[in-house]
Chains A and B, each alone.
Chain A
Amino acid sequence: MSVLAAGGPVIPTFGKGSSCVTGDHTFCWDWVRGHWHDTLGPALVQHIELTAIAVAIGFAIAFPLALLAHRFQRLEQPFGIFSALLYTIPSLALFQFLVPFTGLTVTTVEVALVAYTLVILFPNITAGLHSPPEEVLEAARGMGLTRLQVLMRVELPLATPAIIGGLRIAVVSTVAIATIAAFLLPKGLGYPIFLALKEPTPFKTEIYSAGALAVALALSCDAALVGLRRLVVPWASKGVA
């Protein structure tokens, strides 16, 4: 109790909850249960939406671009440098930079998130397309395959592990960056954390529960993609993590 007293006055804006909540103990399950429906659950769903839209659009843009760069290899180096530079732009600054154009909207957040996924997906897809050894391509051409057939039957299947690898990185980092969206919008798992930090004394349970959900979301997306890879390209899983 003396520790609590030393903590100064605790402003009971966390709700009328239990002594655990008003005393801001380390972790209060009753708060999590009580606020799953109005806070954590919706935030998790919004977070999944933000991530899914960003990765889907990012992939839809990166994939044809990578095919183009694979066909016209001179495009690759400039895009590599461009994407390395884009990745150095801090997410918070990029969000703010877009606000004058698209306002405090989901669009602003998605444009930024899509940009970051592009930076990850494009190099991974091109690297995957480059991965088949020259002899394999030679053999395919020798068998009379056309350029399109080589792409569809040799290059794309062999590139699949690298493409899924890129998706893993993209999804995991998008989940992480999407928490920053809370600086603009009351959406996603960053928002409960943002609110908890705005309290006179940061409310621990809210920070820990939302944070744990974000990390768990990232890890389960990653695990799901590993599972997908085992399913689609079982040969690629031998000996690799």
Chain B
Amino acid sequence: MTVADAANLHTFVDALQFIVDRPGFLATKALEQLALSGAALAIALAVALPLGVALGHLHRGSSVAIAASIIGRGLPSLVLIAAFLTVLGIGFVNNMVALAVLGSGPILTNSFDAVDRVDRDAVEAARGMGMTDPQILRRVELPLALPLLFTGIRVAAVTIVATAPIAAIAGGGGLGDIIVNQASYRLSGVLGASLCVMLLSAVVFAALTGVQIAMTPRGVRRTRVIGEPQRREL
């Protein structure tokens, strides 16, 4: 083992020590981050989900969905957070709005895609059976769209949780506070908090994937749940 390797190992041991020494503090910070993320996700859902589902049901506005996916990826989180900060000031609201904008991209794109791509024959058959539009949406399109739609929500949630640490630079609180403050917490704290952030995102990802598998109707479960985080044809 070279000297450099030994130093690395040492750094990680210190980082783990940091975590072991301050479980309460880190848990508080993690909860702060989850609160911010949850609020942002709620707003993103409230705005983007009805819009995407409505557009998908009408088979209109695919350009809106594509634009949302490009903007969702091309808008750097740091730019969003900084730009909203100049308007809304430092703190919770600014970060919540910035993260909500970031999260609404994948939700809008996926909910549009999911509903838009529902087998037209199935919709036609439902219409032939005398279902009204709301009934078609509720009983045919939404159940069939659920897996892909939920993928969008999961991607948005993970994106938001993963981006939330950056919000620390604008008073967002959470584990990011530790990461951006090496002067107080030293490298061990920064690294320890980074490990916690990774763990937190992984937990959110795993939990939502579990929910997604559980709530997907058995008949459409063959649709792959994992492994399709990207919109392939842009």
Which of B75, B197, B204 is A92 in contact with, Cβ under 8 Å? Answer: B197
A58 to B80: give the CA distance in the assembly, Å.
26
List A146-184 residues whose CB lies under 8 Å from chain B.
161-162, 165-166, 168-169, 172-173, 175-177, 179-180, 182-183
Contact between chains at A202 and B86 (CB < 8 Å): yes
| A90 partner residues in chain B, CB cutoff 8 A | 161-163, 165, 197-198, 201
Contact between chains at B79 and A165 (CB < 8 Å): no
A100 within 8 A of B: yes
List A37-53 residues whose CB lies under 8 Å from chain B.
none
Contact between chains at B202 and A85 (CB < 8 Å): yes
Q: Which of B53-61, B112-120, B222-230 contacts A (4 or more CB under 8 A)?
A: B222-230
A97 to B187: give the CA distance in the assembly, Å.
10
| B180 partner residues in chain A, CB cutoff 8 A | 183
| B74 partner residues in chain A, CB cutoff 8 A | 172-173, 175-176, 215, 218-219, 222
Per-position binary interface string of chain A over residues 139-150, scored 1 when its CB falls under 8 Å from any chain B CB and 0 otherwise = 000000000000
A240 within 8 A of B: yes
Contact between chains at A96 and B194 (CB < 8 Å): yes
17 new A-B contacts, CB < 8 A, other than A92-B197, A99-B191, A180-B76, are A85-B205, A88-B201, A89-B201, A93-B165, A93-B179, A93-B195, A94-B194, A94-B198, A97-B195, A100-B191, A123-B232, A169-B73, A176-B76, A193-B79, A194-B78, A215-B75, A222-B70
A101 to B11: give the CA distance in the assembly, Å.
10
B12, B165, B233 interface centre (most CB from chain A within 10 Å): B233
| B82 partner residues in chain A, CB cutoff 8 A | 193, 196-197, 202, 207, 211
B103 within 8 A of A: no
Chain B, Cβ-Cβ closest to A177: B76
User: Interface range on chain B: under 10, 10 to 19, 20 to 34, or 35 or more?
Assistant: 35 or more
| A162 partner residues in chain B, CB cutoff 8 A | 232-233
A48 to B191: give the CA distance in the assembly, Å.
28
| B202 partner residues in chain A, CB cutoff 8 A | 85, 88-89
Give the number of A-B contacts (CB < 8 Å). 156
| A210 partner residues in chain B, CB cutoff 8 A | 79
A108 within 8 A of B: no
How distant is A145 from chain B, measured CB to nearest CB, in Å?
27
Chain B, Cβ-Cβ closest to A82: B227
How distant is B18 from chain A, measured CB to nearest CB, in Å?
13
| Nearest 9 interchain pairs by C-beta | A80-B227, A90-B162, A211-B79, A218-B74, A93-B194, A96-B194, A179-B76, A176-B76, A100-B11
Count chain A residues whose beta carbon lies closer than 8 angstroms to a beta carbon of B: 56
Chain A, Cβ-Cβ closest to B86: A204
A193 to B79: give the CA distance in the assembly, Å.
7
A218 to B77: give the CA distance in the assembly, Å.
13
B214 within 8 A of A: no
A85 to B74: give the CA distance in the assembly, Å.
21
Tell whether A169 pairs with B234 under 8 Å between CB atoms, given A85-B205, A88-B158, A93-B195: yes
B184 within 8 A of A: no
| B190 partner residues in chain A, CB cutoff 8 A | 96
B66 within 8 A of A: yes
Contact between chains at A89 and B226 (CB < 8 Å): no
How distant is A82 from chain B, measured CB to nearest CB, in Å?
9
